Structures are given as structure tokens and as C-alpha cells.
Copies of this chain bind each other. A is one copy, B any other.
Amino acid sequence: MNRREPKKRATIRDVALRAGVSISTVSRVINHKDSSQMRDATRERVIDAMAALDYTPVKAARDLRRRRTHVMALLVPDISNPFFSLLARGVEAAGFKVGYSTLICDTNNSRDEERQYMSVLLRQNVDGVILVPVGRPDRASLDRLERSNIPVVTADRRVAGIPHVEADNAGGSRDLATCLVGLGYQRIAYLGGPQEVSTAEDRLQGFLEGLAAGGAAPPAVRRGDFTYDSGVSLGTEILRDRRLDAVVAGNDLMAIGVLHAAIAAGRRVPEDLGVAGFDDIQWAALARPRLTTVRVPFLEIGRSAARVLVARIQSYDGAVEPTRLPVSLVIGDSTCAQAKTRSGRPERARKRGDRSSKGSSGA
């Protein structure tokens, strides 16, 4: 066994020859087909031959025959953002479990790159696509996929006419509002995300509902773009109104921006000002004071999206109902623990600290 460099790869033929069976028998063993009613001796001989030859089936050949690549694509705006990378892990893990590989594509927050990817993916012959759209996605590309019988599922954000998996953003926001009102906050400002993102809208709506239900006055509303920087600048601006006793942001990144803006403006958090976010990203655990927020199960969203997609791949016509995953309140130190005027008992709330800040370093 010391042939020189190239050493050609063994094929199914070689295995068949060596095991003294036909290639179909080998194929059956590989695919666990009828292998139950195969003589044990035969199967074993085949398995031995495969091992001896270090045989690995050529995926391209199988794909060609089965007309299915068992590859799905995940398009995310920015894989280096922790929600998306968690989501990606979920997708990958759930897909892997059912024999699917995941092609992760970073659309770099650009509608244009998103569009490009969609057509590249067509060429890659992926079996399906999980999309976290950047704003409103390109209809034509979407239709092109649909026409090619490549199912699409969106995750985290909704797009009209496409099955989706998302969190209960409105519900979480409502609970958060209720909780804050319960804690006695009265003059609240809300910093929402971009209007074209369903998630941002849901959170805003839920918050308004929650306040209304609690009998609180409607908040001052501003819109940012979900970045830390926009949290800082909007926060700085809105905090000029010194009567405000709380600022709630549409996501954690903006909330932390507000936090820093507040501190820079000489406000003490939470004594002078309550701050809350949404997402419960890992990063937030490193900021002080710890943020009151709503935990979104990104990993689970990913898993779920993968399952829904695979279901659609396997029977493309089956209508799949949208999935909405529950979220949970996380009370941090950025809001007063005790009520300011009357006492409130937030439901479904969880105290911070029962999660360790994980993450072994790469470097």
C-alpha cells in the first residue's frame, strides 16, 4: 500500500468487484435500502470492501441521479451579528440532523448582494433557501426561485406570501410595556427600528398596546436603524427632555447606545432613567448596568426554520403555517427593581444571572 501520489479514488465498481457482488448491491448497502432483507454475509462483505478501499461515494453522482443536492442556503444580513450567528447555528444543526448541509451567505446588509446571491444559489442548485431579508426583498428573484421549485422560508422577518418563522415580537413588547408600567414608569420614549422591517413594527405595535392596556400615556416615538450609533444619537437627542423617566429601544444595540448616551448626559441608570431593549444578545451581558430586555430564541428560530424548509422541500405543495416562537422578559439593572409608585409583578419574567456568559475565545 505505498502507491505514489495520485492513488485513484475507489468507485462503487471497485467495491463491487472486491466484494464479489454487483454494484447495485453495493448501492443498496450504501443507501440502507432493502438492506434488511439482504443476507448478512453479503452486506458484511460489502462493508469490508468499502473499508478496505477507503471508499467514499461521490456526492455529485448521487445528486445527479437523485436530483437533490441536500444543500440549503441561509441568507443573513450580517453573520457577525450575534443573533444571526445564533440563528445560523440553529439552522445548521437542525439541517445537519436530517442530512442537509447549509450554505451560509452573508448579504452584507445589502439588498443588492441579497439579490445576487439568490441567483447564484440557483446555479448552486440548493434545494431550498432560508432568508433573513434585508428590508423588502427583490420580488423578481424570489419568484425566480419559486418558479424553479426552490422553496423559500423567511426567518425573523416576514415577507408577504412566504412562509416564515419568527418570534412573538408583539407579545414580548406588550409584556415589557406592562412590566414597565407596573414598575411605575410613566413618561416613556420608544426608539423603534426601520419601518420596512416587520420585526420593528411588531415590537412598536406591541409596546403601544401594552402601554394603552396599562393605562399609560402613549410614548414619544422615534425611529432608528437598529445600530448602536443610532441609539447613541437618538438617545442624546431625546434625553434633552428631562421629564422622561424611561427609554425603550427596539433592540439591545440601540438600548446600549441609549445607555451610554444617558450616562454621558449625566443621568444615572436606573435611578434617574430606566432603559430597556429587545433581543437579549450576548454582547449585552458585557455592558453595565445589565440591560432589561426581552429574550428572543434565535437558536430556536433557526432550528425551526430549517425544519419548516425541509418539510417544504420534501413536499413542495404542502402549505406550511407560519411559526411564532415565544419570548421571555429578562429584568436587568437598567430598570428599577422595585416599583417607583405602586408595585408590579411582571409575568413570565426571569431574573438575570442564570445564564453564564459563555464563549471560549478564538484567539
Contact = CB atoms under 8 A, between A and B. Distances in A.
Nearest to A278: B363
A312 to B, nearest CB: 14
- Most interface-central of A79, A193, A296 (chain B CB within 10 A): A79
Contacts of A106: 89, 92-93
A362 B81 contact: yes
Interface size class of chain A, counting residues whose CB lies under 8 Å from the partner chain: 35 or more
Given A80-B82, A101-B103, A360-B78, A228 B54 contact: no
11 contacts: A5-B317, A54-B144, A54-B148, A59-B123, A63-B63, A92-B106, A167-B363, A227-B357, A227-B360, A228-B359, A250-B363
A199 to B, nearest CB: 5
Contacts of A61: 60, 64
Interface stretch (A38-46, A181-189, A280-288): A280-288
Nearest to A103: B101
Interface stretch (A21-29, A252-260, A334-342, A343-351): A252-260
Contacts of A288: 260, 263, 287-288
Interface in A196-252: 199, 203, 225-229, 250-252
B57 A60 contact: no
A227 B132 contact: no
| Copies of this chain in its oligomeric complex | 2
A314 interface: no
Interface of A: 5-7, 9, 54, 56-61, 63-64, 69, 76-89, 92-93, 101-106, 109, 122-125, 132, 144, 147-149, 156, 167, 169, 193, 199, 203, 225-229, 250-254, 256, 260, 263, 278-279, 282-288, 296, 298, 317, 356-363
A169 to B, nearest CB: 8
A86 to B, nearest CB: 5
B84 A105 contact: no
Nearest to A285: B228
Given A92-B104, A109-B360, A228-B357, A58 B286 contact: no
A358 B64 contact: no
A254 B80 contact: no
Given A79-B85, A288-B260, A227 B359 contact: yes
Contact of A361 (B253, B263, B362): B253
B89 A79 contact: yes
Nearest to A62: B60
Contact of A57 (B69, B78, B123, B225): B123
A224 to B, nearest CB: 9
Contacts of A358: 227-229
B228 A125 contact: no
Contacts of A85: 79-81, 85
A156 B357 CA distance: 23
Contact of A103 (B93, B102, B149, B360): B102
Contacts of A228: 285-286, 357-359
